[in-house]
Chains A and B, each alone.
Chain A
Amino acid sequence: MSTQTNSSGESHGSVSSYLIGFVLAVVLTVLSFLVVSTHSLSPTGTLAALSMLALVQVLVHLHYFLHMGGSSEQRWNNICFVFTVAFVTILIVGTVFIMTNTTMHMMSR
């Protein structure tokens, strides 16, 4: 079954696309749990693996469940999304950078 489209050209998924997304999400979630419970990687490696798995799973959810895509109908949604991702990245990276730097200078760590 291919992806259904309504009169506005907006894609809203099909049973098979939801199932593909669900299976991918389950596999990625189980991998995340296994990486931590088996202690097979170093702490830094585990954190890196967790970040990668979380990023991929967020992308899977955005594509299969929120139906984000590159069609012209979704242009404004995508512009908003890119702005928010940039904003949140600056917010989190900036906060962690400044606060780590402060604790270093105050020698509280």
Chain B
Amino acid sequence: MAHDTTVQTAGHDEHHHESPVVFGFWVYLMTDCIIFGSLFAVFAVLRNQFNGGPTGHELFEFGGLGLETALLLVSSITYGFGMIAAHKNQISQVILWLGVTFLLGLGFVGLEVREFAHMIAEGAGPDRSAFLSAFFTLVSTHGLHVTCGLIWILTLMVQLMGTTEIPERMMNKLTCLSLFWHFLDIVWICVFSYVYLASMI
């Protein structure tokens, strides 16, 4: 706590304010939102430019999409349980829930990589048409974010192992990762609605 008193004094008027670290991370997420917004705009413009190649209707299937969505949605609530345990200072519970979240996220990335590999093997890679270029750019940017989130979860699990209490600095890290993970789930809602389901109408 002592190390950040100088930073925090500016914010002390009547309340103890939210950590500047968490607010800074929120601002980063907002810029990330603009990146995804741009990629969604690109996809919206190019979604019908098939160049004689396969359409979304022929490529996407409900089963895989439903499973990916379910994995990401469940991983959101398991991370939430981890945060509740962290607020109660139950470190072994936090590590357990982070582990579950990691496995669910890994399953999601695994399914996505398998889907991409399958599409590329069928000749529907990002070089086939403008539609597929936009699709691969958008969905793999999201997948890359999830992969970074997985590395982050592992790092925090290792840092938590063997400790007996969660200092404020660690709590800030867990809160930032919580925001990141739930934000990625929100992006995925837009992806499965506008990219997958809207192409399957």
Interface of chain A, main secondary structure? helix
B66: chain A residues at CB < 8 Å are 33
Query: Which A residues form the contact surface with B (CB < 8 A)?
Result: 4, 6-10, 12-15, 18-19, 21-22, 25-26, 29, 32-33, 35-37, 43, 46-47, 50-51, 53-54, 57-58, 61-62, 65-66, 72-74, 76-77, 80-81, 83-84, 87-88, 91-92, 95-96, 99
Min Cβ gap A69→B in Å is: 12
Min Cβ gap B84→A in Å is: 6
**Is B183 an interface residue, CB under 8 A from the partner?**
yes
B194: chain A residues at CB < 8 Å are 50, 54
Which one of A4, A29, A65 has the greatest number of beta carbons of chain B within 10 Å? A65
A43 to B76, CA, bound (A): 31
The 5 closest A-B pairs by CB, nearest first: A88-B37, A95-B41, A54-B193, A18-B80, A65-B182
Taking a contact as CB atoms closer than 8 A, the residue among B30, B44, B76, B185 that contacts A80 in the complex is B30
Closest residue of A by beta carbon distance from B65? A33
A77 lies within 8 A of B23 (CB):
yes
**Is B151 an interface residue, CB under 8 A from the partner?**
no
Closest residue of B by beta carbon distance from A36? B197
**Is B113 an interface residue, CB under 8 A from the partner?**
no
Min Cβ gap A82→B in Å is: 10
Interface size on B, residues (CB 8 A): 43
**Is B87 an interface residue, CB under 8 A from the partner?**
yes
B76: chain A residues at CB < 8 Å are 22, 25, 61, 65
Interface of chain B, main secondary structure? helix
A73: chain B residues at CB < 8 Å are 15, 17-18
**Which chain B residues (58-100) contact chain A, with CB distance < 8 Å?**
62, 66, 69, 73, 76-77, 80-81, 83-84, 87
Taking a contact as CB atoms closer than 8 A, the residue among B37, B73, B193 that contacts A26 in the complex is B73
A43 to B200, CA, bound (A): 10
A66 lies within 8 A of B183 (CB):
yes
A95 to B83, CA, bound (A): 39
Taking a contact as CB atoms closer than 8 A, the residue among A15, A50, A88 that contacts B197 in the complex is A50
Taking a contact as CB atoms closer than 8 A, the residue among B18, B26, B33, B34 that contacts A10 in the complex is B18
Min Cβ gap A23→B in Å is: 10
Min Cβ gap A44→B in Å is: 9
**Is B136 an interface residue, CB under 8 A from the partner?**
no
A106 to B73, CA, bound (A): 43
A12 lies within 8 A of B189 (CB):
no
A43: chain B residues at CB < 8 Å are 201
Closest residue of A by beta carbon distance from B42? A95
A57 lies within 8 A of B34 (CB):
no
